[in-house]
Amino acid sequence: MTRARKLPPGFTLPEILISLVIIAIIGAAFTRLVVAQSRFFTREYEARGARSVARSSMNLLLTDLRMVQDSGGVDSVSADGRAVRVIVPYAFGLACGNSASGTIVSLLPTDTSVMALATYAGYAWRNASGRYTIVTPAAPQGADLVQPYGTPATCTGTGSGQAGVATLTINGRSGQVVQVTPAAAGIPVRTPVFLYQKITYAFASSAAYPGLYGLYRTASGRAPEEILAPFDSSARFKFYVPGQDTSQTAVPALANIRGLDILLYGVSPKLQSNGQRSMTKMTTAVFFQNTRSF
C-alpha cells in the first residue's frame, strides 16, 4: 500500500495575494511619507536660505545707514523706491583752519582698512545750528583730494594762527593731519568735521540669479557690487518723515527723510514642486542716528 506524501507547510495562493496587497499598501504609505518629508526638508532649506539672505542684508545695510545724518544725509532716491544714495561718514576730526588750497583737519585715529576702502566724495563741518554743512569738490572722487598736510603745527601748535589740537594715538593707531579740498569759507577752528563717501544701495536685476533681484552696493566712483541675492521684485525702501509713526511708500522731500523701512523680501533660488519660491518677508526700520540739534 502506498501512503500519501505530506507536503511541507506553506502559504496558499489567497494568503500570498493578501500579503502582497498589504505590503503594497505599507510601501505606498511609506513612500508618501518619505516624499512628504523630502519636500518638507526642501522647503525648510529654501526658506532658511531666503531668511539668510534677508538677515545678512540687514547687517550690511545697518553698518552704513546708522551713520547717516538725519537731515541732508540722503542724497538721492529713485522714483520706484528701489535705490537710495546716502552720505556716509568714514573718518572724523577737528578743523584747524584754512590754507590757500584747502581746509586743514586733524583726524582721529581710523582703521587703515576703512581709509583704504573708502572713496572720498567730500567733507562736512558742523555749523552753529548743529547740522553738518556738506562740502562737495568739483571732482569728488580721487585720493589726491585728501593729502597729508606738510605743516602739522597748524593743528598741534598753540601759537598765533595755530589750533592747539593734539594728534591722538589709540590702540597703536595714530591720527593724522590732512588737507581736504575745497576750502570751507568761514569754518570755525576746532569745529567737528567728517570725511564722507556716497553709497548707493539698490535692488536691481540680479546677475547671479536671472529673473530675480539682487542688492547692489555702489561706492561713489566705483563699479556696482552685487552683495546679496536673490530677492523678490517687491523688495524696496520706504521712508519715515517727521510727524508720522509709520513709513510711507511715496518718495518725500530728501531733507524730510529721518529713516528708512527696508523691505528685505528674500526668496529661494530654486522653484518648489508647486512652481513657487520660498519667500521670507523681513522688514527692518533704520532711523538715522547722526541727529541734529533742535
The pLDDT assigned to 253 comes to: 92
49-63, 81-95, 144-158, range with the lowest pLDDT: 49-63
Measured between alpha carbons, how far is 59 from 65 in angstroms, rounded to an integer?
10
Is the pTM of the predicted complex or chain greater than 0.85? Answer: no
Q: How much is the mean pLDDT over the chain?
A: 83
Please state which of the ranges 3-7, 36-40, 83-87 shows the lowest mean pLDDT.
Answer: 3-7
Name every residue whose Cβ is closer than 8 Å to that of residue 270 and which is 6 or more positions away in sequence: 46, 277
Closest C-alpha among 75, 240, 106, 236 to residue 177: 106
| Predicted pLDDT at 294 | 41
> How much of the chain exceeds pLDDT 90, in percent?
29
Residue 62 reports pLDDT greater than 90: no
pLDDT band at 116 (very low <50, low <70, confident <90, very high): confident
Instruction: Name the band, by pLDDT with cuts 50, 70 and 90, for residue 166.
Output: confident
* Phi, psi (deg, nearest 5) at residue 45: -65, -45
Which of residues 4 and 165 earns the better pLDDT score? Answer: 165
Mean pLDDT of 77-99: 93
Between 236 and 139, the higher pLDDT residue: 236
Mean pLDDT lowest among 71-75, 111-115, 162-166: 111-115
pLDDT surpasses 70 at 290: no
H helix or E strand, kind and range, residue 13: helix 13-65
pLDDT at 123 exceeding the cut of 60: yes
pLDDT of 10: 64
pLDDT at 85: 95
Question: Could you tell me which residue, 151 or 10, shows the higher pLDDT?
Answer: 151
Q: Minimal CA–CA distance to 125: which of 102, 109, 147?
A: 102
Q: 203 pLDDT band (50/70/90 cuts)?
A: very high
User: Which tops the pLDDT comparison, 289 or 7?
Assistant: 289
Per-position DSSP letters for 137-195, written without gaps between them? -SS---GGGEEE-S-THHHH--STT----PPPEETTEE-EEEEESS--TTPPTT-EEEE
Residue 43, pLDDT score: 64
